[in-house]
Structure 1
Amino acid sequence: MKRKIIQLAPKTKVITIPNEFTINNKLNKGDFLDVEIVNNSLIITNTNNNKSEILLDLTSLSEDLIWRHLITSYRKGTDIIKIKHNNKDLKIIQNLIKDLMGMAIVKQNKELIIVKDLFNKHDINIKDTIDRVFKLLIEESEETLQALKDNDKTSLKNIDLLDFNINRFTNLYLRVLNKYSFQEEKMLSLYKIISTLEEIGDEYRRIANVNLRLKDIKINKNILNYFSEVNLLLKEFYSLFNKYDKEKIITFYEKEDLLLENLKKNYNKRSSNEIQILSGLDTILHLIKSLIEENFVLSL
């Protein structure tokens, strides 16, 4: 569909809006539209009336399935979530909704809960949000390593809370991408990066939980050194994410490949928890490598 530009004034040009768009969105004279410039595209969105809605029947579901239904609807960018529930699950649902940043219960009775999006997209800066996720992830990596070194069960328990905070921000970020950035040419790579950061956080949490179950944590010094090297590579990637540098990426890949080889050589004659740590670190390194590939899309 093409539209001709009309010169209205020396510095003002206008185009007409298709009648079909105005009818479908029930637009009238004086209504406001959101206009965004994305590279060489002009995106016009009616955010006033375009409210998505879903009805979820959460009766007779386990807590895990209730959460999966809620988080999927949230990440999709749904504006209004209507929830059919059993009274006995009410407390569970209320607690889970607290984890959906920007959403709030606006109506509730013994059969139905209505949750509405009270979030303004202008309240979030995408770069600031992804920086916050990186910083929380780096903190989680350092806290996990230190807790293992100190045999500190309390700190290991707290890794769950750190990972929970990371997940809250990654869920919000994925929601914003789905809801507002559907025509961003680099959206897919951003989506993969934020999902991968969440996976890395989950891997650190798993390492913490495996060792939390042990009476006494004993870990070979070499493994702890490799753990520290993995954490340093995560920090280095954060720096590369913010500023692409060809020479640093070459060095980064060399370090990563060498570290992967060293991890593989250390599986023999190790305890069960040490093997799981090595496996977790191996997974984290491969996830970081996939982040580099997606960062190429953003930087090149």
Structure 2
Amino acid sequence: MKRKVAQIGPSTLMISLPTEWVKAHKLQKGDELDVFPGRNEITFSQGERKAKTKEITLDITPFNKYLLSRYLEVLYFSNYSKIILTHKKNTMYDQKHQEEISVRALLKKLSNRYIGMEIVSQTRNMTEIRCFLLDKEKDLRTIEKRIYFLFKGIMEEFLQSLDHNHKEFYQNIYEHHDTITKFVTYYLRVLDQSEKTEEEKKQLYSLYLTIDKMMDKFRHLNQSIDQYGCTPTTKNMLKDIFELVYEFFTAYHKGRITAELVAKRYALMRKSISSDYSPEELRVVNEIRIFLDSINDFTRAVILEELVNNDSQRIPPVFK
């Protein structure tokens, strides 16, 4: 159905509502409608529009710790608001530590990883989980900035620890890791409900899942340093790579990536594969190559935002 736009004043445009819809909803002159503007559409409603509730019931009896962790992660950022987990056993196998662990204790630990996830009901063989969005944290840019500053702070603390007491930093590595991944998964959950285009969502999903993988590699990197040490050569390489990632993260927020920054990336890539590393140094360096690869996702996100905004007056995201 198409409607013509009419002008009823110097700067006022009007469109009529379909007669059938007006009669079906018994609308009269003076009634109020809620208006929900989108990027390429606009929705009128008689009542406040509510997001569709996504619910699921899973039998986790055959699961192990790894599979349950991944399921909850995906259900969370896919915006499931009600998750019911049933199980016939009260223990679950942890393959990493090769032992049986309590299902209730595991679910409590896993739910604490996610902002707004709460266990609301629990019996011997069932756990009901609800996931809520916090009104004050629904703005994507606000969450992006929080992730940005958390990332910056943790990387600065890490580089300082290489000159002082890395052992102490390493003892808190899971806390550092979980602090950022908690906000990354929350960002993905908010993104799913946002009015971003599908193209934007796809690219931002890719970018922030890459940041999540970077934090996993960051944890592995610290394990390697604790085991093999960190020589001045690898320390300088780590410093250069983390500073570059931080610069690209900053460029993403500014919406502009320079040719100089791209050249710096390629110089570091050549350095990472051409230096004469010892076997121990190579084990450490191999853990951080994903950071150089991840820069592509920052660049794609900047370019996509440029295309969506479609503003020819802006400086191109990559220029010579």
2:265 is aligned with 1:256: yes
Matches of 1:141 and 1:286, distance apart in 2: 18
- Determine which of 189, 214, 222 is the counterpart of 1:175: 189
1:102-251 map, 5 Å: 102-120=116-134, 123-181=137-195, 183=197, 185-214=199-228, 217=229, 219-245=230-256, 249-251=258-260
Contact kept? 1:137, 1:197, Cα under 8 Å:
no
Residue 41 of structure 1: how far off its partner (Å): 2.5
Sort the Cα spacing of 1:212 and 1:189 in 2 relative to 1 into closer, same or farther, 3 A: same
Structure 2 unaligned blocks of 5 or more: 92-102, 308-320
SS in 2 for 1:78: coil
Structure 1 unaligned blocks of 5 or more: none
Q: Please, what TM-score do these two structures have when normalized by structure 1?
A: 0.82
Q: Deviations over 1:26-68 (max 9, x none)?
A: x998998671332x33256975372111011112422221111
Residue 242 of structure 1: how far off its partner (Å): 2.1
- Per the alignment, residue 42 of structure 1 pairs with 42
Matches of 1:18 and 1:226, distance apart in 2: 68
Residue 275 of structure 1: how far off its partner (Å): 0.8
What's the RMSD between the two structures over aligned residues?
Answer: 3.2
- Per the alignment, residue 286 of structure 1 pairs with 293
- Per the alignment, residue 77 of structure 1 pairs with 79
Matches of 1:50 and 1:18, distance apart in 2: 25
Sort the Cα spacing of 1:6 and 1:90 in 2 relative to 1 into closer, same or farther, 3 A: farther
1:15-54 map, 5 Å: 15-16=17-18, 35-38=36-39, 40-42=40-42, 47-48=49-50, 50-54=52-56
Contact kept? 1:130, 1:194, Cα under 8 Å:
no
**Paired-residue identity, %:** 21
- Per the alignment, residue 87 of structure 1 pairs with 90
Q: Number of residues paired by the alignment?
A: 286
Q: Which amino acid aligns with 1:119?
A: L
Matches of 1:164 and 1:66, distance apart in 2: 17
Q: Please, what TM-score do these two structures have when normalized by structure 2?
A: 0.77
Higher helix share: 1
